[in-house]
Amino acid sequence: MSVLRRLLCLSLLLLSPFVQAEPRLTPFDAGSPAALRQANAGHAFVLVFWSVHCAPCFAEMAQWRAYRKQFPGIPIVQVATESLDESAAIVNVLDRYDAGTTGHRAFADDYAEKIRYAVDPAWRGETPKVYFYDREHKRIARSGALDPDWARRWFEQQSR
Amino acid sequence: MRSGLVAALLCASIATAQDHAAHGAAKTPRFALGSSAAVDGSGTIWAVHLDGGRVVVRQSAGVGQLWSAPVPLSAPEERIEADGDARPKIAVGGVNELYVTWTHPLAKPYTGEIRFVRSVDGGRTFSAPMTVHRDRQEITHRFDSVAVSQRGQVFVAWIDRRDAVLAKERGADYRGAAVYYAVSDDRGASFRGDFKVGDHSCECCRIAMRPRSDGGMDALWRHVFEPNVRDHALAVLEPDGAVTDLHRATFDDWRIDACPHHGPSLVADGAGTLHSVWFAQSSDDAGAFYGRLIDGKVEGQRKLGGGAAEHPDIAAAGNSVVVVWKEFDGNVTRLRAMTSDDRGAHWSERELGSTTDASGQPQLLQIGERFVVFWNTRADGLTLTGISR
């Protein structure tokens, strides 16, 4: 391939909305919790961990989609606790339960205890595990299926 | 949009090359950490794990000895699940039999089939994989366990959602999944089943089995007691499919609708007392626990390690009981053990090793009179560490 064609290709790629689509899965590593707090300084956000083994997690995908729509000012970051090596299994679940959404993440590698520790040393890997960060980034951790009434109240409070 | 299409066409050759590189990496995943091991009558250690996307078996003559080259047991095109409690399992029977199980995920999320392979010539040759259960719906059959009874019958147990699916079709509520098992009388040539152990198990934890002297199997699994208590249940699985003495075995009162992915282990000492390790998070305490399961009560329950202990395993022989677990402190994962010479009355604890990279779940093996820990680590591969008493 000629240099000219490479340049042409590159410039078209940069211009093109067609190829700028966000990748389906991006990595979440031990540095990600701090990076998320920094990116959301002064703002509330929600960090959701789920697993391909976790049937209760699948059921909650629709709920997160609804909150995202109703409270667009509060970012919801969903992270699969399997490594990116398991992308096929993760995307298989997303296609079925959360088709069409972007911004999903997965553990960057299978050193899960290190990533979990960076999130919360007390988290033992059970899913769903959700962290609700308020504007001051004081957080509430929830394990297991979420009480939707409680979650809705939290979102409403943070949206005021 | 048109520019995008042009770019896509122009760049097709570049994209293809990149895609190939990415797919190539995905198709040959790193040596997976999910692995299991068993010891045969001559003291040879047999390990199974995922390598290059296939279940492989390897053998070692013991602590400090090399592992043989991997021998693939599954077909290259078969998808395999191999992480955490869902790793491939291996059991040894008689003198020359090796039995291996794994979960083959189907297209729908959280569905699967329990696959089985055997060797009846001491690992020289292995059979083609077969599916253990009769039920062939595209539903959950996952989290396989395999064990061999005192009479040489092969028991395979798994988590099964057929009853949950039926309930859903009828519009009824159903807590969790169910535990089913099948039995082979002919050294794994065929299986009888599927026998139901009980409704309302947790959906994502391995099942512990230990052979009883009467030819049955004690099984321990994370159950979902009403309304949503994820403590453990114990039952006796008979070879004819009868299930007796099903009762609650642990009482941490962990109320949660979640997937702990953290199953129990179960052994008996020389006097027949059951010793177990498990994981729980009650309102006042969370962690890995040890206890003796006696007549529906827990005796001598104690928390393992410094609080971050996880994925414990247990072994026993005569008056000796050994527990191992791993514990991560933010930088180092330590392999720790506690041992008792008086059937769990007194314990001494020690560190056996450590790693600063990813690792699988440690497993205890007994080789002759000696206890050995099998631990798959990213840094050192399959490791074997002897425990001095």
Distances (CA, A) of B358 to A143, B35, B210, B225, B264: 24, 13, 29, 34, 21
Round to whole Å and give the CA distance between B115 and B133: 9
* Cis, peptide link before residue B227, omega less than 30° from 0: yes
Asked if B310 reaches chain A (Cβ–Cβ under 8 Å), the answer is yes
- Percent of chain A whose pLDDT exceeds 70: 86
Dihedral angle over CA of B211, B155, B250, B257, nearest 10: 170
- For the B31-263 domain, the top CATH level (class) is mainly beta
Searching chain B, which residue's CA lies closest to the CA of residue A21?
B4
Distances (CA, A) of B301 to B44, B197, B289, B291, B305: 34, 26, 7, 4, 13
What is the least distance, in Å, from the CA of A27 to any CA of chain B?
Answer: 15
| Inter-chain touch A96–B109, beta carbons under 8 Å | yes
| Inter-chain touch B26–A127, beta carbons under 8 Å | no
Q: B121-162: per-residue pLDDT in tens? A: 999 999 999 999 999 999 999 999 999 999 999 999 999 999
Confidence band of B283 (pLDDT split at 50, 70, 90): confident
What is the least distance, in Å, from the CA of A45 to any CA of chain B?
Answer: 22
Distances (CA, A) of A92 to A77, B107, B237, B345, B380: 19, 8, 35, 49, 32
Domains and CATH numbers, chain A: 22-159 (3.40.30.10)
| Inter-chain touch A92–B107, beta carbons under 8 Å | yes
Confidence band of A22 (pLDDT split at 50, 70, 90): low
The CATH fold assigned to B267-389 is Tachylectin-2; Chain A (2.115.10)
Tokens matching residue B150: 């005192």
Complex ipTM > 0.85 = yes
Asked if B257 reaches chain A (Cβ–Cβ under 8 Å), the answer is yes
Q: Which residues of A touch B1 (CB under 8 A)?
A: 17-18
The identity of residue B327, as a single letter, is E
Searching chain A, which residue's CA lies closest to the CA of residue B206?
A53
Q: Which regions of chain B carry the CATH code 2.120.10.10?
A: 31-263
What order do you get walking across the sheet with B45-51 strand by strand?
B35-39, B45-51, B54-60, B71-72
Q: Which regions of chain B carry the CATH code 2.115.10.20?
A: 267-389
A contact test, residue of B104, B257, B333, B361 with most A CBs within 10 A = B257
Size of interface A-B (CB pairs under 8 A): 136
Mean pLDDT, chain B, as a whole number?
A: 91
pLDDT of residue A13: 45
Searching chain A, which residue's CA lies closest to the CA of residue B104?
A89
pLDDT of residue B7: 42
pLDDT at B307 over 80: yes
pLDDT at A57 over 80: yes
Distance of CA A32 to the CA centre of its chain: 11
Lowest mean pLDDT among A95-104, B7-16, B165-174, B332-341: B7-16
| Strand pairing class (A45-50; A76-83) | parallel
Q: B58-103: per-residue pLDDT in tens? A: 999 999 899 999 999 999 999 998 888 999 999 999 879 999 999 9
| Inter-chain touch B258–A1, beta carbons under 8 Å | no
Q: A84-134: per-residue pLDDT in tens? A: 988 989 999 999 999 888 899 999 999 999 999 999 999 999 999 999 999
